[in-house]
Structure 1
Amino acid sequence: MSQLPTLTVRKALFAFALSCILVMCLVALAFAHLRGDRFTDSAFDHAARFRTTAAAEDLARTLERDWQDLAFLTGRVAGLDPEQLTYLMTGASGDGRRISWVGYADLDGQVIAATNGLLVGQNVAERPWFRNGLSGGFAGDVHDAVLLAQLLEGEGAEPLRFLDLSKPVTDASGQPSGVIGMHINASWLAEHLRETSETFGIDLYLINPNGDISASSADEAPDTAELQVLRAAQIGAQSGGRETWPDGREYFSALVPQVTYGDLPDFGWRMVGRLDADYLDVGLDLIRSEALYALLIAVFLIGLLTVLVARAVRTPFAELAASAQRIADGSQEYPPSFRTTREAALLSAALARLQQDRITDER
């Protein structure tokens, strides 16, 4: 009898399974090497942009509600005397921690009514909120307190600073009759950014039209000349991506070129958000570990399926081969009948017919 091939059905099935596993691993490794960094950078860049945009809209929505309150006050001036107007403005200021002052000044700039009577009788004609408020809605960037510095106390050693909202008051003929201004505490703005930063997991910076940082959620304030995203903020251009900041660490940065919502006037702000790339790399390592575990599980399942298929396919052919060998040696046995596969069923039936014919011929 000639020498039989060494390759068996079982070996062939296992070789096929191992080849599939090898190809799967090589494709996964090639994809991770060629596209992994680009994919993760794109995903984290999108996350930085999405969170920064959401933070900017959240801030603008909050300030837009103050603008609506201011619009409501401008419509009540004509129907109230100064005492009643003072009472209304004091109520609009709440506890004073966020809105420090609301006041109404006539066309000459003299304050007629204000929160708790502060600055009543004084002239504010030279203040930007009054001058700009006469010509339309005005939103002013963070600035040091001037007239209110001696009347209100700041928090700790920090100087008192405000951002302004103002709107003209018109008479029945539609002509300006004065301006209502609102001073919002800048410490509230910084605290709001810190809280939003914790909520969205991103550092936030408000950049004014001059390129200076008006408020931020972080302690350090990098020079806008040091970073591409901050330089882009000065001109309002879109920018972002991975960048090394002055602290030597890499961040994914994003820029929102305008912080406004609804009817809120434009403060001229741009918002910059940054995500810590080192922190994201930790998350990426976890993702890679989970991907490795998933790959190992897939290999185990493929191996298990291969064993089951090999048993289901090999066993009938192995037993039929052994039975055929015995029949060829003169045995009178009939081969076992298998119906696990079409081929096994046909082979067992053919061997049975051959054995039947042989036994009949011998008789």
Structure 2
Amino acid sequence: MEGQDKTFVGDVHEAVMLAKLLPNPSGEPMKFVDISMPVQDKAGRFIGVLATHLSWQWPAEIGRTMFEPLKNSLPGLEFLVVSKDGTVLLGPKHLIGKPSEAGIAHNSQIRWSVNKWQDGKTYVVGSAESKGLDGYPGLGWTVLTRQPAEVAFAEANGLRAEILLWGGMLSIAFAVLGWFVAGVIIGPPNRIAEAATLLSEGADVDIPLVKGSIEVEKLSMVIFDTWLKA
């Protein structure tokens, strides 16, 4: 019926009656993609419809061929192919045939998100919409990738912990160094001030001739001259 007017490509679906006529070693529900188109004679008159079923096994096999190498290199990574109405066509067996839980599946403006799924786990989810070819618009499928958030962010969290550790250690080191340098800088003026205080109280003290910066040496000499005159 669909192919009487133009070429028609239907979305993937189960075919209970046809599945009974075909061998099915896996025992899983058989799925097909329908294609039909009008047939015309040389004069352009409609004479019938050419229709065919494409077995869903071929995209499933292609998906496994493409996705398995990536899953081996990225732990916990899973791929889902979602139909236009949001149903999972390919992916983990317990999700196939169920509605997608990712809120980005049909929003072209959002390519990734972090959200919690029904299994209680939080995933980092990315999406890419399928494109047609030439004049064929495509079936509107979306490919989703998801990875547990703790796995996806493990390297970043490790880097953050390392930065915090080194930052804390450097802060302590600079604090100790600053305390030591401050002691070196203010030590001579403190000794001069203590001697001047004792001198003003009439105590018999030795005025230290401190070596260091010009200002400190001048201060030391002034106090020493004052002590001599006294």
State the TM bucket, normalised to the shorter chain: 0.5 to 0.7
Paired letter, 2:86? G
Question: How far apart, in 2, do the equivalents of 1:139 and 1:196 lie?
Answer: 30
TM superposition score normalised by structure 2: 0.61
1:352 and 2:221 correspond: yes
Tell me the residue number matched to 1:248.
Answer: 120
1:220 and 2:94 correspond: yes
Shift, 1:300, TM fit: 1.7
Question: How far apart, in 2, do the equivalents of 1:251 and 1:189 lie?
Answer: 25
**Structure 1: gaps of 5 or more residues:** 1-125, 168-178, 340-344
Q: Match for 1:185 among 32, 53, 58?
A: 58
1:52-91 mapped onto 2 (5 Å cutoff): none
Question: Cα distance 1:154–1:221, how it changes in 2: closer, same or farther (>3 A)?
Answer: same
Question: How far apart, in 2, do the equivalents of 1:196 and 1:323 lie?
Answer: 77
Q: Give RMSD over aligned pairs.
A: 4.6
C-alpha contact 2:81 2:88 (8 A) present in aligned 1: yes
Q: 1:102-122 CA deviation, whole Å, 9 max, x = no partner?
A: xxxxxxxxxxxxxxxxxxxxx
Q: 1:178-225 CA deviation, whole Å, 9 max, x = no partner?
A: x9x9x6812323302343444555322111224332222x23216644
Q: Match for 2:86 among 191, 211, 232?
A: 211
Tell me the residue number matched to 2:180.
Answer: 308
**Structure 2: gaps of 5 or more residues:** 38-49
Q: Match for 2:107 among 234, 237, 245?
A: 237
Question: How far apart, in 2, do the equivalents of 1:320 and 1:261 lie?
Answer: 87
Q: Which has the larger share of strand? A: 2
How many residues align? The count is: 206
C-alpha contact 1:336 1:348 (8 A) present in aligned 2: yes
Question: Cα distance 1:289–1:357, how it changes in 2: closer, same or farther (>3 A)?
Answer: closer
Paired letter, 2:210? P
C-alpha contact 1:205 1:271 (8 A) present in aligned 2: yes
Q: Match for 2:131 among 260, 276, 288?
A: 260
TM superposition score normalised by structure 1: 0.42
C-alpha contact 2:78 2:146 (8 A) present in aligned 1: yes
Question: How far apart, in 2, do the equivalents of 1:280 and 1:154 lie?
Answer: 38
Structure with greater contact order relative to length (CA < 8 Å, sep ≥ 6)? 1
Question: How far apart, in 2, do the equivalents of 1:219 and 1:325 lie?
Answer: 88
Q: Which has the larger share of helix? A: 1
Paired letter, 2:88? I
Paired letter, 2:63? A
Tell me the residue number matched to 2:149.
Answer: 277
Task: Give secondary structure in 1 for the equivalent of 2:171.
Answer: helix
C-alpha contact 2:82 2:141 (8 A) present in aligned 1: yes
Question: How far apart, in 2, do the equivalents of 1:332 and 1:196 lie?
Answer: 81
Q: 1:272-306 CA deviation, whole Å, 9 max, x = no partner?
A: 33231343575565355324413421332232222
C-alpha contact 2:11 2:34 (8 A) present in aligned 1: yes
Tell me the residue number matched to 1:75.
Answer: none
Shift, 1:164, TM fit: 8.4
1:321 and 2:196 correspond: no
Q: Identity over aligned residues, as a percent?
A: 16
